[in-house]
Chain A
Amino acid sequence: MTSNQQPATSNQPLSFQETIFRLKQYWSDRGCIIQEPYDLEVGAGTMAPETFLRVLGPKPYRVAYVQPSRRPADGRYGENPNRLYKHQQLQVILKPSPADVIDQYLGSLTAIGIDLRKHDIKFEEDNWEAPTLGAWGIGWQVMLDGLEITQFTYFQQCGGIDLDLVPAELTYGLERIVKFLQNVESVYDIEWAPGVRYHDVRFKDEQQFSVYNFELADVPTLWKLFDLHEQECQRLLTTFAKRLCVLPAYDQALKCSHLFNLLDSRGAISVTERVGVIGRVRKLALGVAKMWMEQEAAE
């Protein structure tokens, strides 16, 4: 622990960024690489290659990073105190999961100033599944005084492949946790840094992207882009598999996934089409996972 931190016992709740620092430090102390967010649009921290690809195969890995996660359909023009187009997840992967993983997790809550003896913690069944990634796991939503603060998952399959080592994935919903700890009614009232509100940092994103995602995004263009990125991904997967282009191929798959979400928020995907489009993205993700495994085996 560094010395210039706020004391954990202080009644003054931590700022948004201080909470992130604490969590990163905590997991760094437990052997995690601290990564930066992936620089493409993703819907969840799971989709960053640091999770989606690194959980595959037999190599142990520990990583933590904050991932801004874009969900176009969740946007509310900055008017809803709880819902955001882009929220931030702190994602932790412990591969393989240690036997005391839950105790370690509870320790991380203490590290951000939650006195567990004064609160109610419950683990409620919640099995996670991402059809577009061919991924699923078993786990819980962790409830703090009736509020879901973390998704805890033991990954079982990713990219349609059974995992050699079972990773524990901890996904902290940072806005929810900090809003709760700072005891504010709206996410926009969160203190991001001393004297700076969440509103100051993120409000414009919410407003402008809501307008774009719901009203202005050009549907024919989005479909064209979807097709192009899909083709590019397929091309890399089929033609150049031997040239180590698995990461670029995955980027193209992520683009498709985000375009799917955008089209969805524009109301451009009918119920009948939906399954088909999910299937197209899934096929790319499965192809990438397979190629990653082949390259791992060849190393």
Chain B
Amino acid sequence: MSLPFLLEIGTEEIPDWMIPPAINHLRDLFQDLLDRTKVAGTISAVDATPRRLVLQAEGLAERQSDSEELLLGPPKSAGSGAAAGFAKKMVTTPDQLGTESTPRGEYFSFKKHLKGQDTIAILAADLPQLILKIPWPKTMYWNGKGSERFIRPIRWIVALFGESVVPFELAGIHASNITQGHRLLGKSEIPVTIANFEQQLQVNGVILSASKRRGKILDGVAELLKGKGLRIRPDASLLETLVYITEFPTPILGGFDSQFLELPSEVLVTVMRHHQKYFSVEDEAGNLAPHFIAVMNTDADPEGLVQDGNERGLRARFNDARFFWQQDQKRKLEDRLEDLKTVTFQAKLGSYFEKTERVVALVKQLGGSPSAQRAALLAKCDLTTDMVKEFTDLQGIVGGIYAQAQGEPDEVGQAIYCQYQPISMDSDIPPREAGRIVALADKWDTLTSCFEVGLIPTGSRDPFALRRAAQGVVRIVIEGGIQFAWPKMSDALREFMRDRVEYYFREVRGFAYDEVRACMAAGWSDLSDLESRLERVRAMRPDIEPIAASFKRIKNILQQAGFTVTHALKESLIEDGPERELYDEFQHSFGQPLESRIQRMRPKVDLFFDKVLVNAPDEAVRRNRLTLLHNLLTEFSEIADFSEIVTQTRN
């Protein structure tokens, strides 16, 4: 007979962002337990709220299936006395023993029949360790030094196998059938069965399913904004936070004085999002509206106290932001340059003042316009403003807004604003030339400086986000059409950048692995040239595969011969027939696009290899043939090393 299983680990409030990975780990750990103990069954669901991690399974066999284990006894040479002793130990008779030959000789053996254990006993024995094995970014102890560690204190455990409680104890908690409801909406002791578990939680103010909580938030928002011509600014990560910080989410609509709309919308949105976890609201034209959506962890706001409290809190925050804005305007960005001498960029790399000097020089070197140079000079000055000290996520953005407010040209302000872009793979690069050059120079300086003092990313450790910086460099150069000849690079940095270029063309642009390798082997110092070569090779793709095989062959022949060019190709030494045909084609098509040459060249190359002996007995003829192949290879390798192209074996 098979039975359902329910595990609920009841805790104090777990940080929202840790919950989804945790339930995935819980699922994997439990699957592993089923596999390892050979208990049949299927995990039907994992779910969680901030106060509970839940796993449900069905079809668990009541007993583990029986199995056999082969045990080795004494060597056969030890005789029947030893065999009798072994048999006794195995609780059997000597006639039940077998023999087993091993590399070390013959041994007595016994096939022990293992009766399957009761699943409930297995669960009781294994669940405590399983729960403690869930990995967390940071754990704590709560029962005293040396006691169990978990993300937050475990306060109750529900573990049911069919109708029975799985009897185990963990951190002083005995598993039971008693769960707890929402802290304020539910009872604190609720007996449950597997069948009524979710419904009992619901009655007690807990929506177990994350997707139902998500739905409740979105439906609630739609209801609140219906007919008002307003919508929320979509924010998937804020939504996930709210889903996992509540057991019973209910959105409410609040408002603020529209005079705050004079502040930059970036500042308002950041305050609402990061500090208050509110959705911003905009009108149909996309302008920020003087409203916000907060999500409560309760069912209602009967007297409007929650709305009022949130509005007052937000007003105080906005007043702070306005105060910072006014304070910051008392000193222009330019006047803050000196202050950058006391702001450390990195202990080994000096201050932001020094970084600014380097970046300005680099922008000039890259031919940056006066606007770009001006933006580079002011780019880091916002680090000393009260606004950025309070809202660090807004660095760059605040500088850009201030520059504009202080009468700097638009292009300067925008370049400062965008200097940290692109911040991710899917985010945009700066929209204009000045911004691109500044962003590029800033990132390139960070990369070269860090590599110079040995701050090189290893494995998953990349504390200065150098991979992101390098990816930004690659994207700005290619997508922004910036002429950027790689300045001098150390071997380590060259290798690092090579990887990023390769990654970009493969993962972001979808070129095949071998195309990228082939084209990069022909050089990658000019990225836009590399891009156009890649496109050409991709366009030739099906046709070049056969010739790629030939190129591989040519490469091997040249390599094996240890060939280097010593003499020019002599026409007089060319033999009539396939060799001459190849030579003529090669000469004749010189200067034509590679695409058509390759097409026509292919049969000639094939024929050549078919009919002509490269290793001719005559030394001069042999050298001349190798020279012909070498010239062929060199010329065609200008766009790619075709021998890197993987051919489908179709012959």
Contacts and interface: CB of A to CB of B under 8 A. Distances in A.
Nearest to A164: B145
B342 A271 contact: yes
B142 A146 contact: no
Interface string B228-260: 000000000000000001100000000000000
Interface stretch (B9-17, B85-93, B367-375, B433-441): B9-17
A162 B145 contact: yes
B155 A118 contact: no
Contacts of B246: 122
Contacts of A180: 309, 312
Q: How large is the interface on A (under 10, 10 to 19, 20 to 34, 35 or more residues)?
A: 35 or more
B143 A166 contact: yes
A146 B313 contact: yes
A60 B368 CA distance: 67
Contact of B316 (A82, A97, A138): A82
Interface stretch (B158-166, B280-288, B299-307, B462-470): B299-307
A166 B184 CA distance: 26
Contacts of A99: 153, 155
B323 to A, nearest CB: 7
B305 A80 contact: no
Given A125-B15, A125-B16, A271-B344, A118 B316 contact: no
Interface in A109-167: 116-125, 127, 137-138, 140, 144-147, 154, 156, 162-166
A185 B278 CA distance: 21
Interface stretch (B28-36, B290-298, B494-502, B619-627): B290-298
B564 interface: no
- Binding site secondary structure of chain A: mixed
Contacts of B303: 118
Contact of A156 (B141, B278, B298): B141
Interface string A72-96: 0000000011100000000000001
- Binding site secondary structure of chain B: loop
A145 B246 CA distance: 13
A166 B142 contact: yes
A5 interface: no
Interface in B488-530: none
Given A145-B313, A147-B313, A119 B319 contact: no
B309 A156 contact: no
Nearest to A120: B296
Given A146-B310, A146-B313, A166-B143, A123 B305 contact: no
Contacts of B487: none
Given A122-B297, A125-B16, A80 B323 contact: yes
Contact of B140 (A118, A119, A138, A145): A138
B316 A81 contact: yes
Interface in A9-50: none
Contacts of B16: 125
B276 interface: yes
B184 A116 contact: yes
Contact of A81 (B155, B297, B319): B319
Nearest to B278: A146
A39 to B, nearest CB: 32
B472 to A, nearest CB: 26
A2 interface: no
Contacts of B245: 122, 124
Nearest to A271: B344
A270 interface: yes
A106 interface: yes
B313 A97 contact: no
B454 interface: no
A140 B312 CA distance: 22
A130 B303 CA distance: 40
A272 interface: yes
Interface string A178-192: 001001010000000
A60 to B, nearest CB: 11
Contact of B142 (A80, A97, A116): A97
Contacts of B6: none
Nearest to B145: A164
A119 B297 contact: no
Contacts of A121: 183-184, 297-298
Contacts of A154: 140, 142, 153
B624 to A, nearest CB: 69
Nearest to B143: A166
Contacts of A145: 305-306, 308-310, 313
* A-B pairs, 10 with minimum CB distance: A145-B309, A125-B15, A123-B13, A120-B296, A146-B310, A138-B140, A146-B313, A147-B313, A120-B306, A271-B344
18 contacts: A82-B320, A103-B183, A118-B301, A120-B294, A120-B306, A123-B50, A124-B245, A137-B140, A145-B308, A145-B313, A147-B309, A147-B313, A154-B142, A156-B140, A163-B145, A164-B144, A165-B145, A180-B309
Given A82-B319, A117-B184, 6 more contacts: A138-B138, A145-B308, A146-B294, A166-B142, A271-B343, A272-B344
